[in-house]
Amino acid sequence: MELWNTVVEGTVMYAVLHPPNFAAQVAAQQRPELRKRAFALVDGEPPTEVVVAANKAARSGGIEAGMSRLQAETVPGVIILRRVQKDELTAEAILHTIACMFSPRVECVESDAGTYALDIRGMNGLFGDETQLANKLRRRIMTAGFLANVAVAENFDAAVCLARGRTGVSVIPSGQEANALRDLPLHVLNLSEDHAETFKAWGIRTCGQFAALAEIDVISRLGPGGRQLHALARGEWPHLMFPMEPSFEDTLVERTELDFPVEALESLLFLLRCMTDVLLERVKTKARAIASLRIVLKLDGGKRHERVVRPALPLQDTPTLLKLLQLDLETHRPGGATVGLELYAQSATPYRAQHGLFLPQAPEPGRLEVLLARLRKLLGDERVGSVELKDDHRPNAFRIVPFAPAPPKKTDQPSFSVATSLRVCRPPQAVSVILVANTPARVFWDNQRYAVREIAGPWRVSGQWWSEANWCREEWDVRLETQDTERVCRIAYDPRSRCWYLQGTYD
Amino acid sequence: MSASAAIRLQVETALAKRVPAALTLKIKQAPELFSTGIGEIDAVLGGGIPRGSITEIAGAASTGKTSFALSSIAAITQSGAACAWVDVSDALSPESAAAAHIVMKRLLWLRMSSDRKKPAADMPGSRLEQALTATDMLLQAGGFAAIVLDMSDVRPQDATRIPLQHWYRFRLAAEQARTALVLLTQTPCANSCAALALRSEPASVRPFSSNGETALFEGQRYRLVRERDRNESSALHRKKLSTRAEWNSGTPWSRVR
């Protein structure tokens, strides 16, 4: 146990960068003319906006956090600005990038915006000793336009407290955390309002005064929270570092620039195969699969051609993904030569299914996706899929939706009589009709003369009368016959165009 | 063991590496059948249309081919399997399909180009060629319990001109994929490749009803004739089946009345 402590305590070192008054710093960085003037930032929904930050000049003029906008406006010479969260996020990203230059293990201190803790173990060879590293880090941050306190300590929270409370660079030697924190005010411990009130009542103002109290007495009065604060004040609270890792999805990008423009799709597919392989390998290391691929072709002349291929199920199969890409690009060809390729992948949990011996037959998802892509290429996007009826009585009131058969499952068969089906003419075919007593008696269609043997109708239907797309027609069911054939059809009369149409044949 | 049996065993053993069981008759498995959803027709067909084979239904317009096919597809999709409808003339009515109780999500509808004036403008080949290619793709991909190739509006002279090699290819692919391929045509064109050949024709005319004050088209009566059934000689068909059946279909509004 002693050996374990020695090894850990002797090796871990944390550097914490803390930009004080971060929101005000960001505002001043965005608008440099504010640096020499007093300003305050307000946030919240009007008219209940409150002051969230102010620069030193404004604070000396009487501005305090928590004041309402109206109160802040009464202070002369203070500019009131709205807080811009987007700028703060950008500034945080800049500070994070700088922190990543000094250490691969960086943790964000969530209680303070823009504050980052770096594990600087083993960085001596690159940046010198702790003091040199801290100075270099601070200078780098200043170059980016921010002022930051940098503290280095073996204890994570001691470094955080020191960065909050002491300006400039502070390096605490090993085992001297309590001494270093002794003179710092208690607010560096990030106290809750209740605890702050309690300590004020006790007359305790510094960490040293608090650390001098007996731990048992503190726990008996403040509970477990008091124990943590006491350990923080002594610089002894243990912390397990959780380094920020770059988003896995952000890493699923492959880019290639070409030396000369390429028009042939086959050449691009050769490159795409390599890029897909790389992405798939990366995805497989996390035991995941590719849910979608977004390909961006940079075209000669500055244009971009972007396509997204989204298999029905996440795939781990390069040939299938490549075939889908190929079919999609063949269907939607880029309008020029390609000078660059970007391939973005989105990962998902791989599809796993336990098929049953006695389940009904269903297409295998991977093969089905390629099949549908091929059929779309052959017939067109709008001619392949399942049909979904619209809530409309207009002819052809349906939409085509992607074919995604539900999991095989038996349903009870309702016992209905067999329905007479209509074979629809798309588009409706114009026919000539002879009327007798306002009823069709003869129909001429497709160079044939049909006599109307039986007739039912007219069925008057209309819709969309409230818009320009209004429609109406009179439908008749007719049994037509010639000398040797007979057929039952539906014909319709359109009063607007005064034309007769054959809508379909019952079969 | 008799002498002939011994000789047969000897020959089979000698040829075992080249022709397994050379002198033993292959036991023909009873075909798996899909119910058509029409009791009268199932009775004539011994249970339904065969799986892994081509079923050809030929007949003129208004003889019930589409109603028969939709009823069969409805029964198959309700059993949980996926089906496809290759529509050469883009003539399928989704309302009729819904009225036949097809599970729409399990039906893949392929519509050939209906632009009759310029079929080859932006599409490769004519509608019939597209349909044959699409059917081939579906059969090769597998996974569909039934595929309907609807050529009802294709002229007989065009249908009979389809090279026989297509039907041979489809027969083999359907057998491997265990798919029931249903052809709807005006005249038989698959010839011997079809395991089951049916002819549809109009039965006695069912007049429009004049039950109320207005006449109403309530349905049709059709006749289906079994012209050839390759599985008919199966030992499983103990009793002699009839070759023709008559059946009724009703319009959706007749169910309301």
* Distance set, CA A439 to CA A15, A141, A184, A187 (Å): 94, 90, 102, 95
The answer to whether B127 contacts chain A (CB < 8 Å) is no
The answer to whether B213 contacts chain A (CB < 8 Å) is no
Pairing mode, if any, of strands A338-348 and A422-436? unpaired
CA distance B230 to chain A (A): 24
CA distance B145 to chain A (A): 6
- What pLDDT was estimated at residue B138? 93
CA distance B125 to chain A (A): 10
User: Along the 257 residues of chain B, how does pLDDT read in single tens digits?
Assistant: 688 889 988 888 888 888 887 787 777 677 889 999 898 899 888 889 999 999 999 999 899 999 999 999 999 998 888 999 999 989 999 999 999 999 999 999 999 875 544 444 444 458 899 999 999 999 999 889 999 999 998 989 889 999 999 999 999 999 999 999 999 999 999 988 999 999 998 888 878 876 666 788 888 889 999 988 887 765 555 566 778 889 888 888 877 66
Count of all residues that appear for chain B in the document: 257
Q: Which of B96, B115, B139, B248 to mutate to test the interface with A (most CBs of A within 10 A)?
A: B96
Q: Which of B86, B93, B187 to mutate to test the interface with A (most CBs of A within 10 A)?
A: B93
Cis status, amide bond into A47, omega within 30 of 0 = yes
CA distance B234 to chain A (A): 25
- B63, closest residue in chain A (CA to CA): A507
- What pLDDT was estimated at residue A117? 93
Cα–Cα distance for residue pair A397/A379, rounded to 1 Å = 21
- What pLDDT was estimated at residue A17? 93
Backbone angles phi, psi at A40, to 5 degrees: -135, 145
Q: Which residues of chain B neighbour A416 with C-beta distances below 8 Å?
A: 101, 255
User: Along the 507 residues of chain A, how does pLDDT read in single tens digits?
Assistant: 333 333 344 468 899 999 998 999 998 888 888 888 888 888 888 888 898 888 888 888 888 888 888 888 888 888 888 888 888 888 998 899 899 889 988 999 988 888 999 999 888 888 888 899 999 999 999 998 899 999 999 999 999 999 999 999 999 988 888 889 989 998 898 888 888 999 999 999 999 999 999 989 999 998 888 999 999 999 989 988 888 877 788 888 888 888 888 888 888 899 999 999 999 998 888 889 999 999 999 998 888 999 998 887 888 888 989 998 998 898 888 888 999 999 999 998 887 766 667 666 678 777 888 888 889 888 888 889 999 988 887 878 899 988 888 776 656 556 667 888 999 988 888 999 999 988 899 999 888 899 998 898 788 888 888 888 888 889 999 999 888 888 899 999 998 888 999 999 998
Task: Specify the residue for token string 């597809």.
Answer: B73
Cα–Cα distance for residue pair B93/B101, rounded to 1 Å = 13
Cα–Cα distance for residue pair A20/A377, rounded to 1 Å = 60
Cα–Cα distance for residue pair A426/B91, rounded to 1 Å = 7
Cα–Cα distance for residue pair A230/A215, rounded to 1 Å = 7
Q: Which of B73, B110, B129, B155 to mutate to test the interface with A (most CBs of A within 10 A)?
A: B110
Instruction: Give the closest of A364, A380, A418 to B249, CB-based.
Output: A418
Do B37 and A413 lie within an 8 Å CB cutoff?
A: yes
Domains of chain A (ranges plus CATH)?
A: 249-348 (3.30.1490.100), 422-506 (no CATH)
Instruction: Give the closest of A384, A412, A418 to B37, CB-based.
Output: A418
What's A32's DSSP letter?
G
Residue type (1 letter), A170: S
Q: What strands, in cross-sheet order, belong to the sheet with A116-119? A: A106-108, A116-119, A14-18, A149-153, A169-171
- Residue B226, phi-psi category: left (phi > 0), alpha (psi -120 to 50), beta (remainder): beta
Q: Which of B89, B106, B116, B181 to mutate to test the interface with A (most CBs of A within 10 A)?
A: B106
CA dihedral angle for residue A254, residue A255, residue A259, residue A261, rounded to 10 degrees: 100
Cα–Cα distance for residue pair A22/A65, rounded to 1 Å = 13
pTM score above 0.80: no
Residues 33-62 in B contacting A (C-alpha not used; CB under 8 Å): 37-38, 60-62
Summarize pLDDT for A12-34 with one digit per residue, the tens.
Answer: 889 999 999 899 999 888 888 88
Give the H or E element holding residue A254. strand A253-262
CA distance B96 to chain A (A): 5
The H helix count followed by the E strand count for chain B is: 8, 10
Domains of chain B (ranges plus CATH)?
A: 33-205+223-246 (3.40.50.300)
CA dihedral angle for residue B64, residue A400, residue B111, residue A324, rounded to 10 degrees: -140
Cα–Cα distance for residue pair B83/B104, rounded to 1 Å = 10
Backbone angles phi, psi at A479, to 5 degrees: -100, 115
Do A368 and B70 lie within an 8 Å CB cutoff?
A: no
Do A417 and B89 lie within an 8 Å CB cutoff?
A: no
CA angle B117, B111, A291 (to 5 degrees): 130
Give the 3-state secondary structure of A429-460.
EEEEEEEECCEEEEEEECCEEEEEEEEEEEEE
Do B107 and A387 lie within an 8 Å CB cutoff?
A: yes
Do A420 and B219 lie within an 8 Å CB cutoff?
A: yes
